[in-house]
Chains A and B, each alone.
Chain A
């Protein structure tokens, strides 16, 4: 029997359950969307394990996940940036750039759909990191004091920055790195950053829930 509970899937499942519990009744469609996205992530991971065991390759299922990942990052950054500054144009431009890279990846070669879209991953990491810096720039410039421990936006963007900025070099220079560091070490570094992402996101969902408690009507 295949082991579906791995170092990759367990943090994702926990994050999905936290999102489902904390955000199912959230007022913001952007935060609510995260429940669906994380559900899709879990499905992709489980499907990926199955496909790899059965066919030896599972790249295409992760390539489909990229479509949702790009959408999620864009939707969420729009939601967290708009209280500080209207960033609809910026987000639209970023989305166009990322989906263009995705299309180029898809139609680059005949069978490219079955190969990993590394360029899309790199572009997404760079854009997400830049948007995180942009958020923190406005966050710092804002006069109002925000208690960090209970700020959902802060923790969501922190997780995003730690993951995407932290893994940018690994994604870009994977070939060089694998020549120096054992691949297993790179894998564990990547997973550690991945777990950090889901810990930060889960905490942000809890902050979100505590800020918007569900009204208890008798």
Chain B
């Protein structure tokens, strides 16, 4: 029978010496690898920031474009028509009908005054694009006023607790564009007649909820957004660390909620 031999203290010392001599090299290799990961992380962060900045510029451009489109359409559909009518009325004045002159001039004055009112509204809308700098609430209020004046939609807008939080201009810009997209969808695709907008700040989260009574649509079970508009809304919310939930059913309207950590 062979007795188990205990390792000699000298062997332990030799092993320890080798360990102590080589261990720092492994530590330095580990630090080097860890540092490389740190660089990769930094690069990713930079890339994300660049992508966010690009999105902000894109959003600003889109808001401008949307405003100009609205202004262009209004100039053509309303102001243009009113001025054509004014011109037609003034041209129809005949010198040999003195009784009709006053009537037609009054009508022309009325038409010009309506044109001026329209122009004032357009001016406010153009200003509204800059209103984002005054806050999300102001910008949404202007957008709602503009839609209301068409008298085709019943719109309610409620903002709660917004005064209790410091604004984040970058997030405001993205959120305003989301509101524009949702309203655009409600008007163009859903054919909604009633739209309710709620903006609520609670416990570090800004909640935007828009309900409409439009035609609605079938939600894809895979939770993939069906149209470009909805995809844009989801992507934009994600960019500011937000989440979006969309509820809809045919003939039952659409409800879109966006939750964004704020400020």
Judge: A and B partners, yes or no: yes
Interface presence of A170 (CB below 8 A): yes
Tell me whether B9 and A176 are in contact (CB under 8 A). Answer: yes
Of B10, B11, B17, B28, chain A has the most CB atoms within 10 Å of the CB of: B17
Q: Which of these binds chain A: B19-27, B83-91, B109-117, B158-166?
A: B19-27
In the assembled complex, B32 has its CB within 8 A of some CB on chain A: yes
- Are B13 and A169 neighbours in the complex by a CB distance under 8 Å? yes
CB < 8 Å A-B pair total: 57
Contact string against B for A residues 129-172, beta-carbon threshold 8 Å, 1 for contact and 0 otherwise: 00000001001100111101000001000100110011111100
Interface size range of chain A in the complex: 20 to 34
User: Would B11 and A180 count as touching, CB distance under 8 A?
Assistant: yes
Contacting pair A166 B24 (CB below 8 A): yes
Partner of A165, one of B10, B14, B24, B31: B24
A181 interface hit (Cβ, 8 Å): yes
Q: Could you tell me if A161 and B10 are in contact, using CB atoms closer than 8 angstroms?
A: no
- Contact (A169, B35) CB under 8 Å given A136-B27, A179-B10, A180-B11: no
The answer to the question of B38 belonging to the interface, with a C-beta cut-off of 8 Å to chain A, is yes
In the complex, the answer to whether A177 meets B31 with C-beta atoms within 8 Å is: no
User: Which residues of A have CB within 8 Å of B147?
Assistant: none
Q: Is the interface of A mostly helix, strand, loop or mixed?
A: helix
B42 interfacial contact with A, CB 8 Å: yes
Partner among B14, B23, B27, B32 whose Cβ is within 8 Å of the Cβ of A181: B14
Let me know if B13 and A146 touch, CB within 8 A. no
A169: chain B residues at CB < 8 Å are: 13, 16-17, 19-20
State how many angstroms separate the Cβ of B196 from the closest Cβ of chain A. Answer: 44
Residue from B10, B19, B32 in contact with A177 in the complex, judged by beta carbons closer than 8 Å: B10
- B25 — which chain A residues lie within 8 A by C-beta? 162
Which residues of chain B are within 8 angstroms of A148 by Cβ–Cβ distance? 31-32, 35
For the complex, is A64 an interface residue (Cβ under 8 Å from B)? no
Query: Interface of B with A (CB < 8 Å)?
Result: 9-11, 13-14, 16-17, 19-21, 23-25, 27-28, 31-32, 34-35, 38-39, 41-42
Assess A180 versus B10: contact at CB under 8 Å? Given A136-B27, A148-B32, A158-B28: yes
Contact call B17/A161, Cβ cutoff below 8 A: no
Distance between B160 CB and nearest chain A CB, rounded to angstroms: 37
Q: Closest Cβ of chain A: how far from B24's Cβ, in Å?
A: 5
Q: Judge whether B21 and A189 touch: CB under 8 Å.
A: yes
The smallest beta-carbon distance between A83 and chain B, in angstroms, is 16
Report whether B13 and A193 are in contact in the complex, using a CB–CB cutoff of 8 Å.
no
A187 at the interface (CB under 8 A from B): no
Q: By the criterion CB–CB under 8 Å, are B27 and A161 in contact?
A: yes
Q: Which residues of B contact A176 (CB under 8 A)?
A: 9-10, 13
What residues on B are CB-neighbors of A170 within 8 Å? 17
Interface flag for A107 (CB, 8 Å): no
Q: Assess the B24–A177 pair: CB atoms within 8 A.
A: no
Q: Taking the complex as formed, is A55 at the interface, i.e. its CB lies under 8 A from any CB of chain B?
A: no
- Supply 22 A–B pairs (Cβ within 8 Å), ascending by A: A136-B31, A140-B31, A140-B34, A144-B38, A145-B41, A145-B42, A146-B35, A154-B31, A161-B24, A162-B25, A165-B20, A166-B20, A169-B16, A169-B17, A173-B17, A176-B9, A176-B10, A176-B13, A177-B13, A180-B14, A189-B21, A193-B21
B17–A177 CB distance below 8 A: yes
CA distance A12 to B263 in the complex (A): 58
CA distance A21 to B234 in the complex (A): 60
Would you give the shortest CB distance from B28 to chain A, in whole angstroms? Answer: 6
Question: Which residues of B have CB within 8 Å of A189?
Answer: 17, 21
Q: What are the 3 tightest A-B residue pairs by CB atom distance, in nearest-first order? A: A173-B13, A180-B10, A176-B13
Residues of B near A167 (CB, < 8 A) are: 20
Nearest CB in chain B: distance from A81 CB, A: 16
Within 8 Å by CB of B13, from A161, A162, A180, lies A180
When C-beta atoms are compared, the residue in chain A nearest to B16 turns out to be A169
Smallest Cβ-Cβ distance to B34: which chain A residue: A140
Q: Which residues of B contact A179 (CB under 8 A)?
A: 10
Nearest B residue to A163, CB-CB: B24
Which chain A residue has the least Cβ–Cβ distance from B19? Answer: A169
- A194, chain B: closest CB distance, angstroms: 12
Known contacts A169-B13, A177-B14, A179-B10; is-contact A145 B38 (Cβ 8 Å): yes
